[in-house]
Amino acid sequence: MNILVTNDDGIAAPGMWALAEELQKIAEVFVVAPDREQSGVGTSVTLHQPLRVTPVRPAVPGIETYAVEGTPADSVIIALKMLLKDKIDLVIAGINEGSNLGNDVIISGTVGAAFQAYFYGLPAIAISIGAFHDLHFEAATRIGLLLAQQYADGKLPRRILLNVNLPNVPPDQLTGVEITQLGERSYTDAVKRGSVKAGHDGKRDYYWIVHGEPQWKEDKGTDIRAIMQKKISITPLHNDLTSQEQFESLEGLRSLLSKELGSGSLS
């Protein structure tokens, strides 16, 4: 089995290398990841400029490794369509520094990388730990290995995308594993403004988006609740963002628009 490992924290991130080393126990591992921090870029793809791809010395011996001057999704595309074309069986993104819970999955570069692999029909897993310092990688690397083995044994479907989150605790403090749905978590964002000198007598303003403290609901059955209970959360995702529950409430709007368009009043 051949596994592609990537992330959004950059090519030097220790969590990614801890995961890659663990996965070597059961597979040939390849690393293709951004050459720098790319958190919060979601599934964005670079379309209007060329990208440099540089072979680099791996932090773990025996792993073919490339650094991409682009986003996590760029890294996956370049790996699957060029560098490692037709070689990869499974894609794992992580281990991310910081959780990806609830609404985070929309902007997460880690989840975005996994989504890109999923778009190409490959099974994909995103793994994140809910902290930024003094991370405990042991359980996260172990869950990555176990999930990869489950896939190799034919116990996971080929068309699958899993978002895995772990609390930042030693393995003996975990209280279980739960299959969850996405919870509700949002941020109180702010914008700061500054200025720099421009030319001889002018200045240029710049703006800095500041991610505020998250606010969340600990509803039963959600990824957020599971993490608060020191459980591992596994959330199956897919790319259908259709809100089925809105269909009935929008029927009146559909009828109105059909009538107006049919009468020619919009011309």
Q: Is residue 197 part of a domain?
A: no
Q: Is residue 199 part of a domain?
A: no
Q: Is residue 170 part of a domain?
A: yes
Give the Å distances, CA to CA, from 236 to 15, 157, 180, 222. Answer: 22, 12, 8, 12
Query: Would 172 be classed as within a structural domain?
Result: yes
CATH number for the domain spanning 177: value is 3.40.1210.10
Q: What is the pLDDT of residue 172?
A: 97
Supply the pLDDT for residue 265: 55
Q: Indicate whether 198 pLDDT > 80.
A: no
Residue 93 maps to a domain: yes
- In terms of C-beta density within 10 A (0-12 exposed, 13-18 middle, 19 or more buried), how is residue 234 classed? buried
As a whole number, the mean pLDDT across the chain is 94
- Asked whether residue 134 is assigned to any structural domain, the reply reads yes
Look at residue 32 in the predicted model and tell me its pLDDT: 99
209 lies in some domain: no
Domain hosting 27: range is 2-184+217-246
**Stretch 53-74: mean pLDDT, rounded?**
98
Q: Please give the average per-residue pLDDT across 4-31, as a whole number.
A: 98
pLDDT-derived band at 122 (thresholds 50, 70, 90) equals: very high
Give mean pLDDT, residues 167-193: 93
Average pLDDT over residues 169-191: 93
CA–CA gap between residue 31 and residue 15 (Å, rounded): 12
- Read off the pLDDT of each residue in 209-238 and give the average, rounded to a whole number: 92
Task: Supply 222's token pair.
Answer: 């959600």
- Number of alpha carbons in the 13 Å side-chain half-sphere of residue 230: 8
The percent of residues in the chain predicted with pLDDT above 70, rounded, is: 98
Q: Is residue 263 part of a domain?
A: no
**pLDDT attached to residue 89:** 98
Q: How confident is the model at residue 202 (pLDDT cuts 50, 70, 90)?
A: confident
Token digits of residue 91: 């894609």
What average pLDDT does the segment 146-150 reach?
98
Mean pLDDT, residues 111-122: 98
Which of 21-25, 91-95, 189-193 bottoms out in mean pLDDT, i.e. has the lowest? 189-193
Q: How confident is the model at residue 219 (pLDDT cuts 50, 70, 90)?
A: confident
Would the pTM count as exceeding 0.85?
Answer: yes
pLDDT of residue 6 exceeding 90:
yes
List Cβ neighbours of 17 (8 Å cut-off, separation of 6 or more).
Answer: 31, 58, 59, 60
Question: Tokens 């269909």 belong to which residue?
Answer: 247
Mean pLDDT of 150-162: 95
Among residues 38, 78, 37, 77, which one has the least CA distance to residue 54? 78
pLDDT of residue 262: 79
| Confidence at residue 242, expressed as pLDDT on a 0 to 100 scale | 93
Answer yes or no: is pLDDT of 266 > 90.
no
Share of the chain above pLDDT 90, in %: 83
> What is the domain count for the chain?
1
Rg, Å, the chain Cα set: 21
Task: Please state the rounded mean pLDDT for residues 238-254.
Answer: 92
